[in-house]
Structure 1
Amino acid sequence: MGTWDVGPFGNDTAADWCGDLDDASPDTRQGLVRDTLARAADTTGYLDARAADEAVAAAALVAAQCPGGEPAHPAYGPDEPVPDLTGLRALALQALDRVMTEPSELLELWTEPDGGPGPWQAAVNRLRSTLTPQPPAEQLRLS
Structure 2
Amino acid sequence: MGTWGLGPFENDGAADLLGEIEDGTFSFDAIEWAFDGDYLDADGGEFAVALVELALVALEAHDPPEEVADLDLAAFAALLTPERLAWLVRQGERTLAGTEDSELHELWAESGEEQLEAWRAATRTSLSELRELT
TM over 0.5: yes
Category of TM-score, reference length = shorter chain: 0.7 to 0.9
**SS of alignment partner, residue 132 of structure 1:** helix
User: What is the rounded CA distance, in whole Å, between the counterparts of 1:117 and 1:89 in structure 2?
Assistant: 25
- Can you list the C-alpha shifts for 1:45-96, whole angstroms capped at 9, x where unaligned? 322111211121112111224464242x323677233332363321111110
Are residues 33 and 123 of structure 1, via their aligned partners in 2, closer, same or farther at CA, if it must alter by over 3 Å?
farther
Query: Superposed, which structure 2 residues align to 1:1-143 within 5 Å?
Result: 1-24=1-24, 29=26, 32-33=27-28, 36=31, 43-66=36-59, 68-71=61-64, 73-75=65-67, 79-83=71-75, 84=77, 85=80, 87=82, 88-101=84-97, 102-111=100-109, 113-114=112-113, 117-133=116-132
Are residues 121 and 34 of structure 1, via their aligned partners in 2, closer, same or farther at CA, if it must alter by over 3 Å?
farther
Are residues 57 and 49 of structure 1, via their aligned partners in 2, closer, same or farther at CA, if it must alter by over 3 Å?
same
Structure 1 segments (4+ residues) deviating >6 Å: none
**SS of alignment partner, residue 66 of structure 2:** coil
Identical amino acids, percent of aligned pairs = 32
Are residues 116 and 61 of structure 1, via their aligned partners in 2, closer, same or farther at CA, if it must alter by over 3 Å?
closer
Higher deviation after alignment, 5-14 or 81-90: 81-90
Where does the alignment leave 5 or more consecutive residues of structure 1 unmatched?
135-143
Amino acid at match of 2:50: A
Are residues 93 and 70 of structure 1, via their aligned partners in 2, closer, same or farther at CA, if it must alter by over 3 Å?
farther
TM-score of the pair, normalised by structure 2:
0.73
Are residues 51 and 81 of structure 1, via their aligned partners in 2, closer, same or farther at CA, if it must alter by over 3 Å?
same
TM-score of the pair, normalised by structure 1:
0.69
Instruction: Give the RMSD, CA atoms, in angstroms.
Output: 3.0
Where does the alignment leave 5 or more consecutive residues of structure 2 unmatched?
none
Higher deviation after alignment, 48-57 or 109-118: 109-118
Amino acid at match of 1:108: E
Are residues 65 and 23 of structure 1, via their aligned partners in 2, closer, same or farther at CA, if it must alter by over 3 Å?
closer
User: What is the rounded CA distance, in whole Å, between the counterparts of 2:3 and 2:15 in structure 1?
Assistant: 10
